[in-house]
Amino acid sequence: MEILEKRFNCYLMDEVEKFIMKEFHYVLQVSAFYLYLRGKWIYFSIFQFILYLFILGTFIIIVFYTMVLMKDFQLSIAVQAFHIMGGASMTVNISLWMNYNRDILSETFTIFHSKFYQYDESFDSKMVEPWLEEVQIFQKNMFLYVSFILFAIGLQVIVGGPIEDMLQGTVIEETYIINVYMKLPIPLYFPFLITNNIVKYMCLVYEIIVAFVVLSVLGTAAIFMLYATHSVNVQFRILIYSIKNIEQRALNKCKVKYNDFKTYQNIIALYSDPKFTKEYEQCIKENVQHHYQILRVRRE
């Protein structure tokens, strides 16, 4: 376990981990999107990850077999099974990719924690502070919006589907069609007969657990992508602002560093001063470094 902990936590600092918890709370851990691999929690996290994959793997097999059985008898149910299987398969791919590339994710969180790039005192940060506050406001709204959408989707599958069938008069009265049990929100084939309510409710709980895993992983992926996209958008605005004011930034650097720096009435005359051109080049380097950090997040 020590080898595993070193392998997956070598890119993550304690302050970055605190930042993750502050920004995303326990969402990343509950969905197994970014597991907590510290101390004794590593055992629970590994068990959680394997359990999620086992649940999703068995569900995909069951749904696939259901689709094969129903394609010649109930095409609508077969199509529904195909769509659900696609969502579950996407969930598995996201879970595997994110945990396999944990180092990339850790590096991205480190950039978020450092606020991409910190300019020195020559940069007027008062103009960009409202933009940074937008990220915090957007984050709160994002959690509420995505949570509401996922809850509505889950409610539609579990409750809305049967009610819609009843109102449209398309309720299937048969308990079984070609070994597919029809009395669940998602009709499925099970390798055993459902002969009493206890087994029926156990199968219902199984579907609810699968729905929770799928929605939590897809929801977390959506939250992360929205957070990253909005953060990158704000950083591009900051970068554009700093480039537009690059001459003023260079001038501010000169005033701080050089007591004998001359004041020019014409901004063009500044370019003949080697002190100004030196600081101007430094400002360009800062913008390049800032842009590089933004591109790293976009690429990763």
pLDDT at 93: 92
Percent of the chain past pLDDT 90, that is, above it, reads 10
State the pLDDT confidence band at 124, using cuts at 50, 70 and 90. low
pLDDT at 40: 74
SS3 sequence of the chain: CHHHHHHHHCCCCHHHHHHHHHHHCCHHHHCCCCCCCCCCHHHHHHHHHHHHHHHHHHHHHHHHHHHHHHCCCCHHHHHHHHHHHHHHHHHHHHHHHHHHCHHHHHHHHHHHHCCCCCCCCCCCCCCCHHHHHHHHHHHHHHHHHHHHHHHHHHHHHHHHHHHHHHHHCCCCCCCEECCEECCCCCCEECCCCCCCHHHHHHHHHHHHHHHHHHHHHHHHHHHHHHHHHHHHHHHHHHHHHHHHCHHHHHHHHHHHHCCCCCCCCCHHHHHHCHHHHHHHHHHHHHHHHHHHHHHHHHHC
pLDDT at 92: 92
Average pLDDT, the chain: 80
270 or 287, which is more confident: 287
81 or 4, which is more confident: 81
CA distance 104 to 110: 10
Question: Is this prediction's pTM over 0.85?
Answer: no
State the pLDDT confidence band at 7, using cuts at 50, 70 and 90. low
Check pLDDT > 80 for residue 181: yes
Tens-place pLDDT, residues 24-79: 777 888 888 877 777 677 788 888 999 999 999 999 999 998 888 887 777 777 88
pLDDT at 162: 67
CA distance 133 to 63: 45
Check pLDDT > 80 for residue 245: yes
Tens-place pLDDT, residues 209-222: 998 899 889 888 88
